[in-house]
Amino acid sequence: MDEDEAYRRARRRVRSIKAFYLNGLISVGVIILLFAINLATGGPWWVQWPLLGLGLGVAAQAVAVFGLSGWLGADWEERKVRELMARNTER
């Protein structure tokens, strides 16, 4: 892997981490707003349902950004491409 490719991968990784942080921040803001609306309007509590949905979305993004880098991540793709290329040249 040359220096340009390493830079592009690092840049892509930083962008995905930045997107995760922004998504988390926006999700917290939305939940605070919805909690305030639920509190102001009274009635039954419904804010937990959007919280659950947003929480699952943020958790899924966290796994994609931080948790699966070794399994089905960019390194896995690169290894798989090399493996398939090696198989094709043997035929």
Cα–Cα nearest to 47, from 31, 24, 23, 60: 31
Model pLDDT for residues 27-86, shown as the tens digit of each residue: 999 999 999 999 999 989 999 999 999 999 999 999 888 876 566 666 777 788 888 888
Q: What whole-number distance in Å separates Cα of residue 71 and Cα of residue 77?
A: 9
Residue 88 pLDDT grade (very low, low, confident, very high; cuts 50, 70, 90): confident
Residue 26 in this model has a pLDDT that exceeds 70: yes
Q: For the packed helices 3-41 and 48-62, what is the interaxial angle rounded to 10 degrees?
A: 170
The predicted structure's pLDDT at residue 89: 81
Q: Report, as an integer, the average pLDDT of 1-22.
A: 89
